[in-house]
Amino acid sequence: MIAIIDYGCGNLGSIKNMIRKIGGEAVITSNIDEIRQAKKIILPGVGSFDTGMNNLKKSGFIDILNEKAFNEKVPFLGICLGMQLMTKGSEEGSEPGLAWFDAETIKFKFEKSSVNKIPNMGWKHVYQKKESAYLKEMYPEPRFYFVHSYYVKSNKPEDVLTTSTYGTEYVSGFEKGNLCGVQFHPEKSHKFGMKLFTNFLSI
Amino acid sequence: METPRIIPILLLKGTGLYKTLKFKEPKYIGDPLNAVKIFNDKEVDELIILDITASLENKKPNYELLYQMAGECFMPLGYGGAVSSIEEIRKLISMGIEKVSINSNAVKLDFIREAADVFGSSTIVVSMDVKKNFWGKYEVYTKSGTSNTKMEASKFAVEINKAGAGELLVNSIDRDGVMQGYDLDLIKSISGEIDIPLIACGGAGELNHFKQAVNAGASAAAAGSMFVFHGKHRAVLISYPEQSEINALFR
């Protein structure tokens, strides 16, 4: 069973919709016992970094998520803010992140006259930087839907799964062992997202 | 190369899909759920659904129908129409709608501020219906284009930007359904004043119009008639350009 962690941040219904569409089974849960049973975990998230971290703490999820990620080593996918929470911290807030990756979350900075507006909202190409089960047999020229004002900067090149470009080239996916984070929204990215989730189901 | 978003906008009236001309003469298009499925199959960049009578008739959003639609959309989905409270936004989001568009209630800047604060800016879109007055000034209308706020469009856009909206949908009432091109002056007058993405709407009739809108400063281009009508007799036919056509357009 896949647990989609409900900590009050984000659009969980669409992730469940897509997993159901491809024949998988997922539950949206904020129940620690249910999370404990999970064979795979998705940490979604939309909203601000500190709200996300504080909600994880308030819900009492930090310990169980660490346990699942590092003791049980279940496949663990962070999406959007869920990816950013896996970094050490964000310019958006003052709370420390989960620090699962040696990476930081940084704000896009553009001149007002720039054609690049914030948030970065839309479809962007994703360039694969290493082999990964998540991107197995991916369709050519994969494009995913992004909505974000902050991006991840990784201090470990070997963790970088994909990069994308918005004014600057940034890390749009990272992966280390059983842990993976993507900045884009596979649940809103048509066949590309379905392929990624199909791969996630078969990991 | 990245291409801007090309977004079909579907108008809901009761449980049917309609398309208007200058916000009037709603013409029946078909079943909304069926249309959403077709657009999903065509892998559209994004889809926006606007209920054009809910606010006027003091109704709530049609949650039942929207829930069904959201289940068929594997791309970003926006909804607007009679969104007046934080609880309504919460309910819409929980169903799988990621962008909630506020129009008539956008004049209450505190509501925009609160909504952006609770759900994050990227969830909150302000949709602004604009009409040029006799003296050439762009004025903002609410209530499906029936109520003139007398506010100047670019000034209002700046306020909306400051209040925390994540995106601005600018809809030209004069160009709605006309299919002769966007009001580029309107797009220019607003896009230079804001730092959030602007979605241009109203007037698209051919692919090149999208490029004109983007060149005028729009981050994304939306259209209604162009994606639901075919030919000069406006026969109903749902269409959407191939990604290769969009790539070629913006090359």
> Which among B143, B144, B164, B160 has a CA at the least distance from the CA of B152?
B160
Q: What is the pLDDT of residues B162-205, one digit of tens each?
A: 999 999 999 999 999 999 999 999 999 999 999 899 999 999 99
Instruction: Name the token pair of B130.
Output: 């604009």
Which residues span the domain enclosing B91?
5-250
For B47, which DSSP code? Answer: E
Mean pLDDT over A140-167 rounds to 96
Residue A11 has pLDDT above 80, yes or no: no
Number of C-beta neighbours around residue A6 at 10 A: 18
| Residue B244: predicted pLDDT | 94
Residue A71 has pLDDT above 90, yes or no: yes
Amino acid at site B55:
S
| Residue A12: predicted pLDDT | 85
Quickly state the pLDDT bin for B218 (edges 50, 70, 90): very high
Domain count, chain B: 1
> Which among B20, B94, B24, B38 has a CA at the least distance from the CA of B61?
B94
Rounded distance between C-alpha atoms, residue A97 and residue A95, angstroms: 6
Quickly state the pLDDT bin for A125 (edges 50, 70, 90): very high
List, in order, residues 6 or more apart from A40 with CB less than 8 Å away: A1, A2, A3, A74, A75, A76, A77, A200, A203
Q: What is the pLDDT of residues A155-194, one digit of tens each?
A: 999 999 999 999 999 999 999 999 999 999 999 999 999 9
Query: A102: helix, coil or strand?
Result: coil
| Averaged pLDDT score across all residues of chain A | 95
> Which among B188, B186, B179 has a CA at the least distance from the CA of B232?
B179
Domain containing B226 — which CATH number? 3.20.20.70
> Which among A14, A12, A80, A76 has a CA at the least distance from the CA of A47?
A80
Rounded distance between C-alpha atoms, residue B16 and residue A201, angstroms: 37
List, in order, residues 6 or more apart from B116 with CB less than 8 Å away: B123, B124, B163, B164, B165, B166
Asked: is A2-202 a CATH 2.20.25.90 domain? The reply is no
Mean pLDDT over B150-168 rounds to 96
| Residue B139: predicted pLDDT | 97
Rounded distance between C-alpha atoms, residue B251 and residue B245, angstroms: 10
CB-based contact (8 Å) between B219 and chain A? Answer: yes
Q: Which of A48, A123, A125 sits opposite B5 (nearest CB)?
A: A123
Positive or negative torsion for Cα A28, A183, A146, A138? negative
The answer to whether the Cβ–Cβ distance between A119 and B76 falls below 8 Å is no
| Residue B223: predicted pLDDT | 98
Rounded distance between C-alpha atoms, residue B107 and residue B143, angstroms: 11
Which residues from A are below 8 Å from B71, CB to CB?
17
Find the length of chain B: 251
Mean pLDDT over B56-74 rounds to 94
Instruction: Name the token pair of B205.
Output: 């009739």
Amino acid at site B147:
S
Q: pLDDT above 90 covers what percent of chain B?
A: 89
| Averaged pLDDT score across all residues of chain B | 95
Q: What is the pLDDT of residues B90-145, one digit of tens each?
A: 899 888 898 999 998 888 999 999 999 888 888 999 999 999 999 999 999 999 99
Mark whether B51 is an active-site residue: no
Q: Which of A51, A187, A190 to mutate to test the interface with B (most CBs of B within 10 A)?
A: A190
Within A30-157, where are the H helices?
32-37, 49-58, 62-66, 81-84
Mean pLDDT over A124-153 rounds to 96
Q: How far is B190 from chain A (nearest CA, A)?
A: 13
Residue B251 has pLDDT above 80, yes or no: yes
CB-based contact (8 Å) between B84 and chain A? Answer: no
| Residue A114: predicted pLDDT | 78
Rounded distance between C-alpha atoms, residue B229 and residue A86, angstroms: 47
| Residue A116: predicted pLDDT | 87
| Residue A68: predicted pLDDT | 98
Write the ipTM. 0.90
Rounded distance between C-alpha atoms, residue B213 and residue B200, angstroms: 7
Q: Which of B2, B96, B121 sits opposite A13 (nearest CB)?
A: B96
Q: Phi-psi bin for B164: left (phi > 0), alpha (psi -120 to 50), beta?
A: left
Mean pLDDT over B41-60 rounds to 95
| Residue B242: predicted pLDDT | 96
Side-chain-facing half-sphere of A70: CA atoms under 13 Å: 11
Domain range summary for chain A, segments of one domain joined by +: 2-202
Quickly state the pLDDT bin for A201 (edges 50, 70, 90): very high
Residue A112 has pLDDT above 80, yes or no: no
| Residue B36: predicted pLDDT | 97
List, in order, residues 6 or more apart from A138 with CB less than 8 Å away: A128, A192, A195, A196
Q: What is the pLDDT of residues B68-103, one digit of tens each?
A: 999 999 999 999 999 999 999 989 988 889 899 999
| Residue B122: predicted pLDDT | 86
